[in-house]
Structure 1
Amino acid sequence: MTDYDVLRVFCGPDGGYGNELGVVREGSVLPDPDDRQALAAKLGFSETVFVDDPERGVIDIYTPTLRLPFAGHPCVGAGWLLDVPELVTPAGVVGVRLDGEFSWIEARPEWAPPRTLRQYASAAEVDALPVPPRGDWIYAWAWEDESAGRVRARAFPGRDDGIQEDEATGAAALLLTARLGRALNIVQGRGSQILTAPQPEGWVEVGGRVFLEH
């Protein structure tokens, strides 16, 4: 079995929750894309990262069923684990910085996979949502406190890969931040926390707490 680490990314203030991420630090042991896809499917995390060059931060990202040119929680987690100033993804070069308990990435909204951002009137409505039928990748959100930039969100990938709800989704948070044009403090899923901030020239920072599970 290929060795891999398991991280939890976008954990809550007490270190709980977060979205699990598999990281294969020695990507060279599994160079073939089909083999990587098979391992990602076997592990069953929402994403698995293969590190092709740890010093330069070159990474390759897979869901259980497809390869992604960019994704938020894998980049935040890999940036924290590798402790590099940037990550090289197929979509582009992602900036990385570590600031106290938070790991941050800087990326562009156009790198994010398509997401349907669906606003609801209240956090209670978002909490009460059932898992929708397969189809669009839906990011359901509502203001908890609009003046403070606090958002309640849930994410439904809509794929047939066993992941009905994504616990914490950096790419969708990036898209929502770009649309609203302001910094956000997002509570997603059961209790994960995602922080965001718009940057000059259309870039967006996305940050959160990362913990090594094993």
Structure 2
Amino acid sequence: MTDYDVLRVFCGPRGGYGDELGVVRNGALVPEPDDRQAFAAELGFGETVFVDDPERGVVDVYTPTLRLPFAGRACVGTAWLLDVPELVTPAGAVGARADGEFSWIEARPEWAPPCTLRQYGSAAEVEELAVPPAGVGAPPAPSGRRGRLYAWAWEDEAAGRVRARSFPGRADERGDSRSGGADARIGGTDEDEATGAAALLLTERLGRALNIVQGGGSQILTAPQPEGWVEIGGRVVLER
């Protein structure tokens, strides 16, 4: 069995919640894309990262059904684990830094997969939402799959505090995905606990720093940067 680490990314203030991430530190053990895809499907995490060069931060990210050019949760967690100033993804170079208890990356919103950002009148409305049917309200992605639905509301607009929930889009054509990343459903659940890419898009739309509570209690921090970049940060815990 290939060795891998399990992290929880975007944890709450007491270290709970967050979403699981698998990281294979020695990507050379699984060099072929098809084998990486199969291994990611076997692990069943929303995202699994294969590290191809730990010193330069070269990474390759997969959900159980597809390869991603970029993933916010994957990059935040892997940057924390490797303790590097930059990650190199197929989408581009991702700046990384640590700031006290938070791990931060800097990325571009256009790297994120399609997502419907739907605002509600109050945090209570978001919390009371029923899980929508797969793909409802989500725009078609270039692949023909559906993007996710990201429901959000202000908890405190002046302070930039947001309450959010994230509902993955339709599973792939086989309908057998277990992924919580990109545009597929998690096996056994219909909602993501923490979604970095959607937070990236919401920050671009609102043009301001955000403190997002998503799912049961995950925390995601964001901040716009010059020239269209966005920082996204959170707590990371090593599970095993």
Band the TM-score falls in, shorter-chain normalisation: over 0.9
Contact 1:85-1:95 within 8 A present in 2 as well: yes
Structure 2: distance between partners of 1:110 and 1:134: 23
What residue in structure 2 maps to residue 209 of structure 1? 235
The Cα shift of 1:93 comes to 0.2
Structure 1: distance between partners of 2:158 and 2:206: 13
What residue in structure 1 maps to residue 144 of structure 2? none
Which sections of structure 1, spanning at least 5 residues, go unmatched? none
The Cα shift of 1:159 comes to 3.3
What residue in structure 2 maps to residue 18 of structure 1? 18
The Cα shift of 1:125 comes to 1.2
The Cα shift of 1:130 comes to 1.8
Contact 1:132-1:158 within 8 A present in 2 as well: no
TM-score w.r.t. the length of structure 1 is 0.98
1:100-111, aligned counterparts within 5 Å?
100-111=100-111
Structure 2: distance between partners of 1:67 and 1:131: 26
What residue in structure 2 maps to residue 174 of structure 1? 200
The aligned amino acid for 1:45 is F
Q: Does 1:96 align with 2:96?
A: yes
Q: Secondary structure at the match of 1:73?
A: helix
| Aligned pair partner of 1:199 in 225, 229, 235 | 225
Q: Which moved more, 1:153-162 or 1:20-29?
A: 153-162
Structure 2: distance between partners of 1:41 and 1:69: 17
What residue in structure 2 maps to residue 124 of structure 1? 124
The aligned amino acid for 2:225 is Q
The percentage of counterpart residues that share the same residue type is 82
TM-score w.r.t. the length of structure 2 is 0.87
What residue in structure 2 maps to residue 165 of structure 1? 191
Which sections of structure 2, spanning at least 5 residues, go unmatched? 139-147, 172-176, 179-185
Q: Secondary structure at the match of 2:158?
A: helix
Number of residue pairs matched by the alignment: 214
Write out per-residue CA displacement over residues 158-203 of structure 1, whole angstroms, 9 at most, x where no aligned residue. Answer: 2322312111111110110000000000000110000000001111
Write out per-residue CA displacement over residues 18-71 of structure 1, whole angstroms, 9 at most, x where no aligned residue. Answer: 010000001111011111111111111111111011000000111111111001
Q: Which moved more, 1:170-179 or 1:152-161?
A: 152-161
The aligned amino acid for 1:202 is G
